[in-house]
Each structure stands twice: as structure tokens, then as C-alpha cells.
Structure 1
Amino acid sequence: MSFETDGDPFEDVREESGNAMYRLFTEYGRDYLPQFVVGVVASVFARLLDLVPPVMLGYAIDTILRNNGAFLGFLPASIRGGWTTSEQVLVAAGIVAGSFVLGAGFHWLRNWGWNSFSQHVQHAVRTDTYEKMQRLNMEFFAEKQTGEMMSVLSNDVNRLERFLNDGLNSALRLAVMVVGVAVVLVSYNWRLALLTMLPVPVIALFTYWFIKTIQPKYADVRTSVGKLNSRLENNLGGIQVIKTSNTEEFEDERVEDVSRSYFDANWGAITVRIKFFPALRVIAGLGFVLTFLVGAYWVAVGAPFGVGGALTIGGFVVFIQLSQQFIWPMAQFGQIINMYQRARASSERVFGLMDQPSRIAQDPNATELDVDDGEVVYDGVTFGYDDGETIIEDVSFDVAGGETLALVGPTGAGKSTVLKLLLRMYDPDSGEIRIDGRDIAGVTLPSLRQAIGYVSQDTFLFYGTVAENIRYGTFDADHEDVVAAAKAAEAHEFIQNLPDGYETMVGERGVKLSGGQRQRIDIARAVLKDPDIMVLDEATSDVDTETEMLIQRSLDELTEDRTTFAIAHRLSTIKDADTILVLEDGQVVERGTHEDLLAEDGLYANLWGVQAGEIEELPDEFVERASRRAATVEDADATDD
């Protein structure tokens, strides 16, 4: 038996999703273009103002302290001519102070723009991804692990926000700073500026190597963290089984295995990253050292190597200060690339989930379903999953409005699948399902599912109060309606005995309630919905015999004037149904009333005999077929694991 998880569950789709980062900007960024523009413009001005202090310092040294040119010579002489040296220093200081104040304003505006842009995009991507996921057919959820989807909705979307805020912001600041510094340095001394920019192509080549190396490693990290989340989510959800099975050590090993896989993938990326950034700083530092040595020689001795040109002390100071603002940001470029590669891996997973194909699609011309009689017809319905295995084949029957149809049969016969097709959890491969003569494929999904009340054998309660869970799906119901529904489901009495009555918190997945209590709340939820058609899929499977009798009495009243479908392994609960369908291997093999089917002495009669304890009287053929079916189910379970 294998417990290994698959690879990246979205890999096959994300390869067809195109450039995920381009889609991120075109499909979501354009809606928040004003915030983006504010961030860009403010970043440009904020960075340009950051250049003012070092430039003004060098200019003041040359014009004020060394009298090399007129201070602010571009101003009319009538304005600057009467300034003393002290006044010139104060003016220079005022310009620097003004640049700091104005720069602070632009920095604030920059942060507002980028944060607003990234937060809005993050919110839109997360909600759209969840909306898309929620509308996928049930087959998708049967194949994918919850932890993987949680990883996409949480970790991957958050990583996109960090890149849109910090990464893009830093990239633009870097670009403005590099261009601005380059222009200033070239204007002072283009020969020395070329030397200062000498490390740029080396940094570019080194960064290209980093991108090609780190990209597949980050994809592995995102896949491994999804597996880790899936394992942890699965184990936490099954903690009771782990404890009762005494398998803590086994689960310790499984978590250690997936954690080790994440460690290996993450460490592989880390080893590349921790080599890249120090090396980048060394390259950038060499550029600064060259600028310092050549610039100092130029000022003290003269132009080296006979290249010609002058360099003032103020110009040298500007070179020393701005070269750091030029070279060190180039070293930070690797951090930006690092963030981009992480965001790219995450965006591919996000759009991989968004682009998952769904077999359930609503006809754009679909109209609302208005149930009148409640007649339901299955006409030659065949269905199988994507693996090609046929689950139900050529199933046909009809249920008149107000009648009750029961489906029985061995495990794996396709009973639940038949009813999930009615709710369009899946669509049939062939055939039609009609309600009051209308093909359900031609009606809107909300109106179809609003007309059907579904009580599953796998009861799920949301974290919240008892009342909130009963009201779920019928949110406008008042408290009196909630109580009435609880009474109909034989739940009112036990609810009153809870610590806070209807306001008692049920805990995650209803863990604070027993299985029977959870199931009665689920029934109350369906009762409150007051549907035209009722589907009961093992609705009393988790209750004791006495409670089952009480619930069955209420259900009989509830379903009296409704078209009702019921699945039950306890045949005593459906023996009064108007029609009983017996399924085996996805086909209808018998149909009729309880008495008719007993008289036929076929599969139904044998199943009835099993529950009546008449084991020794069962025919050998039935026992052999039951043994083969059990083996098939076990093999299927082993394959799934």
C-alpha cells in the first residue's frame, strides 16, 4: 500500500496557462491602474529627490568652499549676487532640507500607491481563485488534496502580494536610481562614470545564471510545501483515528518524510541563493573600490593613463557617494529577481488552479427551474469518471410528483452517484435527467439546487453555532423557523440541553456533537430549506435505533407531499417507499414495491435476508458475488491509497 502523494497537482494545467505574470497584470492589475500610476510616479520623484543631497554637497564644495564657479549660477545676479558665504551655505542647506521634506511626502505617496495596488490585486486574485475552485465539479475535489488548495489560496497568493508591493517597488526604485545616478556621473566625468559602471554587465550575466538555476528549484519548493500542507491537514483531520489506531509513530515518520522533502527542496534553493548574493556584493564592491582609487588619483595627481579631463574635489565626493547608490542597488537586483522567481512559481500555481477545466458548465441560455408537480425522469443515463470506468450504465426510471423512490444495492453499486447526478454534482456522459419535463442541463444551477434538499451520510457542520448551521443556506430564516425545523428533525430537545442552546458553538466540523446529533442538525437544515424534492442519502446512518424511529416519523411527515429519493442500507427504513430500485454494478436489476421484490426472491430478497439474520439460508451464488464485490472494493481502496 502506497501513501505517497502525487507531484504538483496543477502542473499539467499551468503549462498551458501562458505567461502567468503577464496574466496577473493584464487580468487584475489594470483594474487598479490609478494606484499603480501613483506608486510609479511617486517612486520616480522620491528617488530623484534622493539624489539632491549628494549632488548639492559636491556642488557646494566646489562653488562655496573652493570658489570654483558661481553658486547657483543659473539664477539672476540680482538674486544671488549679494549672498555672503554663510548665506550660501544656508541656501544649500535649505535646498537639501527641502528635498528631504518633499522626498518624504513622495515616499509616503509611493508606499500608499504600491500597498493599495498590491492589496487590491491580492484580494481579487484570492477571491476569484476561491470562486473558481468552489464551482469545480466534485471529481476535482476527489482527486486533489485539501492542503494543496489551501497552499495556493494562502501561501501562493500572499507571495504574489509581496512581489507586487516590495518587488515591483524595489525594481522601479532601482531603475530610477541607476538611470539618475548614471546621468549625474556622466555629466561630471563620463570617463570615470564608465569605470564606475564596469561591473554592470558582469552583474547582468551573473544574474542571468541565477535566474536559470533558481527557477526550477522554486517550483520544487512550491510543490513540496503543498505536499507538506496536505499531509498536516490530513493528519490533523484524522487525529482521532491516529490515536485509536496507535499509529502516532507511523504518522511521525510520514510527516518527517514530507518535511524532509520540503527541507531538501528549500535547501537546494537556499544554497544557490546564499552563493549568489555575497558574490554579487563582491562584484559591486570591486566597482566601488576602482572608482575610489582612480578618482582619488585623478584629484591628487591628474588624469590617469593620459585620458584627459578634469575632476574636482566636489565631483569626486559626488562620485564616491553616488557610486554606492549605483553599485549597491545593482547588488539588490538579485533580491528582486529572487522575489520575481518565487512570485512566478506561485502565479503559475494560482492560474493552474484557475484554469482547471470543469465538466459542469451552465448553459448561457439556461432559465430558472420552477418545480410544479415534481416529476423526475432518468432517461438512459450513463456516467463514468475521467479514468474511463463506467459507474452507472443506461439507468432509466421515473418518479411521479410526491412519490418516494428508494435506491438499494451493495456497496459500490452507484446509488449515491445516481442522486448526485440529479444535483448536477456531475453531468452524465449520455442520457437525460428531467424535472417536470425539463432537462436539468438547461436550467440554472442555483435554481436546481435550491429546489432540492440534500441530506448526506457524511454530515458536515461549519464552525459556528447550532442555529447558524441549521440556517445555513436559508439565511433569512427567523429563530422560530429554525426551532420548528429542529423539532421536525427530532433535534430540538437535545439542542435545548446544550450549554447555550441554539447559540452553542459546535466546534470545527461539529466535533463537539455526536454523529447522531450532527445528522439531526443536517436534517433540520434540509427541513428549513423546504425544498420541492428531497434527497436522503443514508440520512439516519449515524443514529441509534430509537432516534432513527423518531427521525423516520418526522421524515415521513416531511416527505408526504414531496418527491423523495432515499438511499438506505437499513432496508427497514425504506420498505414503505412507493418504488424500490435495486442497483448492482451500476445497473438497475430489480424494481417494485417491498412485497413485490421479496416475492421475486432476487438480490433484494437476499439483502433483506442478510439484515433479518437469515445468513445460512442465503444462496451460494449470492455469497460468492458478495465476496467478489468486497474484494473489488478493497482493491479500489488500495489503489486510491
Structure 2
Amino acid sequence: MRARRTETPSAPKLDWEIFRTLLPYIWEYRGRSIIAMVLLLLAKVATVSVPLVLKRMVDVLDASSGAILALPLGLLLGYGALRFTASAFEELRAALFARMRYGIMRKISLQVISHLHDLSLRFHLERQTGAITRDINRGASSISNLLNYLLFRIVPTLVEIGLVAAVLLKTYDAWFALVVVVTFTIYVALTLVVTEWRLRHRVAMNKAESRANAHAIDALINYETVKYFGNEAFEVARYDEDLIKWEAAAVRSQSSLSLLNLTQGLVIAVGVTLIMVLAAKGVVAGEMSVGDLVAVNAYLLQVFLPLGFLGTIYSVIKHALSDMERMFELLDREPEVQDIPDAQDLKVELGEVRFEEVEFGYDAERQIIHGLSFRVPAGKKLAIVGPSGAGKSTLARLLYRFYDVDAGTITLDGQDIAKATQRSVRDAIAIVPQDTVLFNDTIFYNIHYANLDATREEVVEAARVAAIHDFIESLPDGYDTVVGERGLKLSGGEKQRVAIARAVLKNPRILIFDEATSSLDSASEQSILSALRDVAAEHTTISIAHRLSTITDSDEILVMDGGRISERGTHAELMVLNGVYTNMWRLQQAEDDSCEASVEPLSP
């Protein structure tokens, strides 16, 4: 028995692991990154030079002997040039990073979507669509935020602090540099500790908000149900209960932010005061000029003003890393069904289908198929019937290789599908499912989706075969009519006819009809069955049916019960057996007779 793989999520990533995952994408833009870093350094050198020019200007203007106009004018022009140069380098760096920033977002988003399409059916049956799309959108946005704050806020601030500390150390007393470094260290440590504490309130606030939104959306989606039972007040009260929790968490979050801002202000005030005291003492002692005092003050503004955003930046980065982790977890999921190394494409020319001792279960405790064997010769029609839960639709999923069998083999024209590429297996088959879900696009798009190389004439012909062309032409926009979310603008029967048109347009060797006429009235059913018989004449056909009247012309009928074949044969042969199939037939005939009797007019 083959080991069953599972698509279990990976263990949570550490922050450094997320950065490591991101590095290969950044490395693709290493040329731009190097140039941008050089521009960053040049911009900060220009920025740090501004206070020195400012000091020189003040000292010249303060000279008691009278200043020559040309000198301060030159300094003023130099001051303006440095300001412009710093700004120009910053904007050039931003322009260079734009390509990297948005290019990485596009590539990762594309990779995630591609990977989701590669994941197996089990994952998509268990996932929450809203949560998945939210994780992708937030993850992609978080990449942009992370790169923006790291490369435009944190790295520039660190470079600037390093340059300022170096200038203060070289130009003035070492105490100036020491106070700046110590103040910065205390400020950062305090911010990180308090922000980590604040994040708990923020998380609680976000969870309460998500619950409130989920309840509100659920109630609005089920608007009619709320009205049926008169539960408007109950829904409003439930929404308010969530909002009360959100309000409490929001107040705690804001209060903790105020505490953080207060302590940050205290640290900066102490640091600035110490440095200004040192500078004032230097001026009084004649060791420093008034220009030096102005320069030191300018350096303090350059260093400490960006720190005011540190708490916000740290919080944003933590949230970004969390969102990116959820997105990268999707990439870490291994597909349950994978092509083997050097898998070959199937070459299906005849369309013979064979199941040999197939066993399968969705999990170890839920065995669905037990040692199933049957053969559908090329061009023949096989019908599969049985009660709900007998495993009928599971056979279609196995044939499509949405799951790998636990034991046994499934072959198409003698080729084991487990050794072939999944794409070639699915190219050989078309299905009309019981529940047809359409894209929120035009009718033409939904039919054409089955064969993207088909012409408009071929799409129209497929619609004719499916007996839906006249209906489409009766619509104001014809084939350009948008069907709505999940095709809700069409009736169940109309959606199934679109699905039949898809199968016709794809024109594979093997057709599967999974309750293909379950949503049609009797007249439409007969029209569709006639068309399907013409289509199936040149294809191998497997019909999964509930209404036995639709499969009486099958070459063989399998009666399944509990994942096993209990009876097999043609309609006539099974009726002679007087077994399960016969009982099902008689029961359905009685139901049909009862329905016909119920619509007969009453006697006057």
C-alpha cells in the first residue's frame, strides 16, 4: 500500500528565516541595490555635512571684525547645494528601489498563486478562500512595507547616526558621541520592549475586529434568513458584543502607545539636555564657538527626529513579518500529488479506461474504495450508480488524479496514470460535474475556457450541441452576458448546459458525466441526453448517475455499495437479477408515477 502524503503546514518561521527566504529575490536586483546603497551613503554624507557648513556660516557672521559678503554668500550657496544634493540622492535611490520593490512583490505573488494551483484537491477542499486571499494580499503588501521601512527608514537612520557619532567624536569631545550612542541604545531598547508588549493589545484588537467583520458579513450574506426568523436585533447585538471587545483592546492599545511616546520623549529630552549642557560649557570655556553650538543642535535634530517613528516602524515590521510568514507557509506546503521524476505525457488515442484492484481512502480511518476492478473499452459507455456515499464521485477524482490511489493501478490505453504527467492525464478527460461553478465573466469566456485555442465558431457550435445556443442568443448581450458571481445569474440547468458545452469544446477521448442532467426538467433532459448520445458515440463515456432512466443505454452498469461493486451488467441483465438495481429502478419509477399523478387536474 502506498504511503499517503499530506499537505501539512510547515513549522512557524523565525524572523531571520523569513529574511533568508526573501534574500534570493533581493539578490536578483543586486546591481540596483549596490547603486542605491552608494546613493544612500552619498546622501547621508551630504546631510551630515550641512551642520558643518551651518557652523561655518554662524562663525563667519559672528566674527567681530566684520564679514566679507562673498564668504557667507558662498557658504549660503554651499548650504543650499548640500541640501539639494542630499534630496536628489534620496530621490534617485527611491527610483532605483521602485523596480526592485514592486518587482519582488509581483514575482512572489505570482509564485504563490502558481503554487496554489499546483496543490492538490485536499488542500482546496479544506481551505478558507477569504483567508487565503487575505494572506496573499497582506503578504505581498508586507513585502513592500518591509523593504520600504528597512531600506528607507532604518538603514538610512543607522547610517546617519553612525556618521554623526563619527563627526562628533572627531570634531568635538568624545562625551558628545558617547551621549548620542547611549541615548540611541536606551531609546531603541525601550521602544522594542514596550512595542512587543503593545503588540499583544494590537493582536487582540485585530482579532476582535475580524470577528466583528465576519459576523457582520455573514449576517448580510444571509439577509433573507435573518428576515425569515426576525433576528435583526440578535445580529446587531452579536455585532456589538464583538465591537465592545474591540473597543476595550483599542483603548488599551492607544493607552500603551501614549505611554511609549511619553517614555521616548523623556529619553530624548534627557539626551538632548546633556549634549546641550556639554556644548554650552564648551562655549563658556572658549573651547567651542557659537557655530559649534548650532552645529551640535542641528546634529541632534538629524539624529533624534527619525527616532520618533521607531516604535511605529518596529510594529509595522513585526506585522509585516507575521503576514509574510503566513504567505510563505503556503509556498512551503508540498503538493500531495506530484509527478514522478521524468514523468511522460500520456498518449491517449483510443480511450480505454481500466481500474485494477484499486483501493483508496481520504484518510486512514475512512476507506472509500475496496479492491475495485473494471474496464471500459474504447468508445463504450459505462454507468456507475449506487446510494450516496458509495464512492461514485471518488472514482472520477481518482481518474483525474486529484488523489493517488493507495493500492492498485488506473490506466488509460494501458498507461499507468501515476507514472504520467498530471497535465496530460487531465487533457485526456472532460467532465460535466454535478455542481457547475462558473467564473464571474461572460458566457463566451466560460465556454471558451475549456479550450483556449478554440475559435468563436467552435464555441457557438459547442453551445448548439449542449442545446443552450438559442437561450444565449435570446439574452440582450448574447454570448457577452456576464453570468455573475459563481454563475448565480443562470439557473442550475443553464449552468449545466454551459458545463456540457465546455466538455464538447474540449473534445477529449474520455467523457465523465457526474449527474450531468440532475438540474434539468424532463423535456430539457431528453434534449440533452439526445445531444450527449451523439457526442458520446465517438468517446469513452463514464456516467455517474442517480436517475437510472438516463443510463439505460449504457454498455455496462456498475452498482456500487460501500466502495465495492455489488452488481454489474446491462440494464436488461440487471433487471433480470432482481437485486439492488431492480429495487432502485422500481422505486424511482414509483416516484415518477407519483409526481405525474400529483400534477393531474382535479375533476370538476
TM-score scaled by length of structure 1:
0.84
How does 1:142-541 map onto structure 2 within 5 Å?
142-189=125-172, 190-210=174-194, 212-213=196-197, 272-300=256-284, 302=285, 310-386=287-363, 388-541=365-518
Structure 1 Cα separation of the partners of residues 527 and 82 of structure 2? 80
How does 1:51-90 map onto structure 2 within 5 Å?
51-63=48-60, 65-66=62-63, 85-90=68-73
Q: Given the superposition, is the C-alpha separation of residues 343 and 264 from structure 1 closer, same or farther in structure 2, using an over 3 Å criterion?
A: farther
Partner of 2:596: none
Q: Which amino acid aligns with 1:285?
A: A
The 8 Å contact of residues 211 and 341 in structure 1, kept in 2 or not, is answered as: no
Q: Given the superposition, is the C-alpha separation of residues 11 and 540 from structure 1 closer, same or farther in structure 2, using an over 3 Å criterion?
A: closer
Tell me whether 177-186 or 606-615 shows the greater mean CA deviation: 606-615
Structure 2 Cα separation of the partners of residues 285 and 391 of structure 1? 72
CA displacement 1:5-51 (0-9 Å, x = unmatched)? xxxxx995242688442233223222222333333222222222222
Q: Secondary structure of 2:29's match?
A: helix
Q: Given the superposition, is the C-alpha separation of residues 269 and 372 from structure 1 closer, same or farther in structure 2, using an over 3 Å criterion?
A: farther
Report deviation, 1:261. Answer: 7.1
Structure 2 Cα separation of the partners of residues 253 and 49 of structure 1? 59
Report deviation, 1:217. Answer: 6.4
Q: Given the superposition, is the C-alpha separation of residues 11 and 565 from structure 1 closer, same or farther in structure 2, using an over 3 Å criterion?
A: closer
Report deviation, 1:168. Answer: 3.0
Q: Given the superposition, is the C-alpha separation of residues 245 and 428 from structure 1 closer, same or farther in structure 2, using an over 3 Å criterion?
A: farther
Partner of 1:636: none
Tell me whether 497-506 or 92-101 shows the greater mean CA deviation: 92-101
Structure 2 Cα separation of the partners of residues 250 and 583 of structure 1? 46
Between the aligned residues of both structures, percent identity stands at: 32
Partner of 1:619: none
Structure 2 Cα separation of the partners of residues 259 and 417 of structure 1? 44
Tell me whether 173-182 or 601-610 shows the greater mean CA deviation: 601-610
Q: Given the superposition, is the C-alpha separation of residues 16 and 188 from structure 1 closer, same or farther in structure 2, using an over 3 Å criterion?
A: closer
Q: Given the superposition, is the C-alpha separation of residues 157 and 443 from structure 1 closer, same or farther in structure 2, using an over 3 Å criterion?
A: same
Count of aligned pairs: 587
Partner of 2:3: none
Q: Which amino acid aligns with 1:291?
A: I
Report deviation, 1:407. Answer: 1.2
Q: Secondary structure of 2:370's match?
A: strand
The 8 Å contact of residues 147 and 226 in structure 1, kept in 2 or not, is answered as: no
CA displacement 1:205-234 (0-9 Å, x = unmatched)? 213424643566677777777777777777
CA displacement 1:133-168 (0-9 Å, x = unmatched)? 111111111111111101111123212211212343
CA displacement 1:246-303 (0-9 Å, x = unmatched)? 7666666676677777777777666544533442233123212332334234323x38
Structure 1 Cα separation of the partners of residues 567 and 186 of structure 2? 79
The 8 Å contact of residues 192 and 311 in structure 2, kept in 1 or not, is answered as: no
Q: Secondary structure of 1:28's match?
A: helix
Structure 2 Cα separation of the partners of residues 229 and 352 of structure 1? 25
The answer to whether structure 1 residue 24 and structure 2 residue 25 are counterparts is: no
Tell me whether 483-492 or 274-283 shows the greater mean CA deviation: 274-283
Q: Given the superposition, is the C-alpha separation of residues 180 and 145 from structure 1 closer, same or farther in structure 2, using an over 3 Å criterion?
A: same
Q: Secondary structure of 2:482's match?
A: coil
Q: Secondary structure of 2:83's match?
A: helix
Q: Please, which runs of 5 or more residues in structure 1 have no aligned partner?
A: 1-9, 69-82, 304-309, 617-641
Report deviation, 1:66. Answer: 2.6
Report deviation, 1:311. Answer: 2.1
Tell me whether 197-206 or 440-449 shows the greater mean CA deviation: 197-206
Q: Secondary structure of 1:406's match?
A: strand
Partner of 2:597: none
The 8 Å contact of residues 146 and 233 in structure 1, kept in 2 or not, is answered as: no
The 8 Å contact of residues 148 and 226 in structure 1, kept in 2 or not, is answered as: no
Structure 1 Cα separation of the partners of residues 245 and 109 of structure 2? 27
Q: Please, which runs of 5 or more residues in structure 2 have no aligned partner?
A: 1-6, 594-604
Tell me whether 493-502 or 157-166 shows the greater mean CA deviation: 157-166
The 8 Å contact of residues 463 and 501 in structure 2, kept in 1 or not, is answered as: yes
Q: Given the superposition, is the C-alpha separation of residues 446 and 245 from structure 1 closer, same or farther in structure 2, using an over 3 Å criterion?
A: farther
The 8 Å contact of residues 60 and 72 in structure 2, kept in 1 or not, is answered as: no
Structure 1 Cα separation of the partners of residues 511 and 120 of structure 2? 21
Report deviation, 1:343. Answer: 1.2
Q: Which amino acid aligns with 1:185?
A: L
Tell me whether 252-261 or 200-209 shows the greater mean CA deviation: 252-261
The 8 Å contact of residues 381 and 430 in structure 1, kept in 2 or not, is answered as: yes
Structure 2 Cα separation of the partners of residues 24 and 572 of structure 1? 58
Equivalent residue in structure 2 for 1:554, among 520, 525, 531: 531
Tell me whether 464-473 or 205-214 shows the greater mean CA deviation: 205-214
The 8 Å contact of residues 197 and 287 in structure 1, kept in 2 or not, is answered as: no
TM-score scaled by length of structure 2:
0.89
